[in-house]
Structure 1
Amino acid sequence: MYIYRKLISLLIALSLSYGLYSQGCSDAGFCTMGAMKPSQEFNKNIPIKLRSVTVGFYEGQSNTSAIIRAGILDFGFSIGGQYDLQVKVPYMYIDGNFGSNSGIGDISLSLTKNLITKPEFDILGTLGAKIPTNRSNITVPGRDAVFPMYYQTSLGTYDMVAGASFINKKWLISVGYQQPLIHQNENTFDASVDSWSWYEGGMSYVREHDVGRNLRRGTDVMMRFERNFRMSRLTFNVGLLPIYRITKDQALNEDNEYEKLEGTTGLALSALFGLNYKFNVFSGLNLIYGQRITDREFNPDGLTRKHVISLNYTYNF
Structure 2
Amino acid sequence: MKQIIYILSILGSLSMYSQGCSDAGFCSVGNTFTDELNTSKNQLDFGGIIGGGEADIFYISPYVTYTRNFSESFSMSAKVTYSQASGDFGTRGQFGDAFLTSNYVFKEKNAKTWSTLLGLKFPFTSSNAKINDISLPLDYQASLGTFDLIAGVGLKYKKWFFNTALQLPIFNNNKNSYFDEYSASNDFSSTNLFERKPDVLFRTTYTINTKKKFTFKPNLLFIYHLGEDSYENIFGNRTTIVGSDGLTLNGNLIMSYAISSNRSIELSLATPFAIRDSRPDGLTRSFTAGFIYKYAF
Write the distance in 2 (CA, Å) between the matches of 1:245 and 1:28. Answer: 15
1:22 to 11, 19, 34: 19
Q: 1:261 offset after TM fit, Å?
A: 2.8
SS of equivalent to 1:130: strand
Match of 2:39 among 13, 26, 48: 48
Letter in 2 for 1:29: G
**1:77-226 equivalence runs, <5 A:** 77-118=68-109, 120-140=111-131, 143-183=132-172, 185-193=174-182, 203-206=185-188, 209-210=189-190, 212-226=191-205
**2-structure distance, mates of 1:241, 1:133:** 27
Give the RMSD, CA atoms, in angstroms.
Answer: 2.1
**What aligned pairs does 1:248-267 form with structure 2 within 5 A after superposition?**
248-267=228-247
| CA apart distance, 1:262 | 2.3
Counterpart residue number, 2:14:
none
Unaligned runs of 5+ in 1: 1-20
Q: Count how many residue pairs are aligned between Structure 1 and Structure 2.
A: 279
Q: 1:288 aligns with which of 268, 273, 286?
A: 268
User: Counterparts of 1:124 and 1:166 in 2: how far apart (Å)?
Assistant: 6
TM-score, normalising length: structure 2: 0.87
Partner SS state of residue 188, structure 1 = coil
Kept after mapping to 2: 8 A contact 1:53/1:75: yes
> C-alpha displacement at 1:116, in angstroms?
4.3
Identity, % of aligned positions: 25
- The letter for the 2-side match of 1:23 is G
CA deviation profile, 1:71-102 (whole Å, cap 9, x unmatched):
11111012355421111112211111211111
Where does residue 12 of structure 1 map in the other structure?
Answer: none
Q: Does the CA contact (< 8 Å) of 1:31 and 1:176 recur in 2?
A: no
Deviation at 1:238, TM superposition (A): 1.2
Task: Give the deviation of 1:41 after TM superposition.
Answer: 6.4
- What is the SS of the residue equivalent to 2:118? strand
Q: Whole-Å Cα distance in 1 between the matches of residues 24 and 199 of structure 2?
A: 9
- The 1:253/1:98 distance shift into structure 2, 3 A limit, reads closer
Shift of 1:316: 0.4
CA contact (8 A) 1:175 1:223 kept: yes
Inter-CA distance 152–187: structure 2 relative to 1 (3 Å threshold): same
One-letter code of the match for 2:205?
E
Amino acid at match of 1:292: P
Q: 1:41 to 1:159 in 2, by over 3 A?
A: closer
Structure with more of its chain in strand, by fraction: 2
Instruction: Give, in angstroms, the shift of residue 183 of structure 1.
Output: 3.2
Structure 1-normalised TM-score?
Answer: 0.82
Aligned twin of 1:244: 224
Q: Which residue identity lines up with residue 294 of structure 1 in the other structure?
A: A
Residue pair 1:177, 1:220 contacting (<8 A) in 2 also: yes
Q: Distance in 2 between matches of 1:22 and 1:87?
A: 26
Contact 2:35 2:155 in 1 (8 A): no
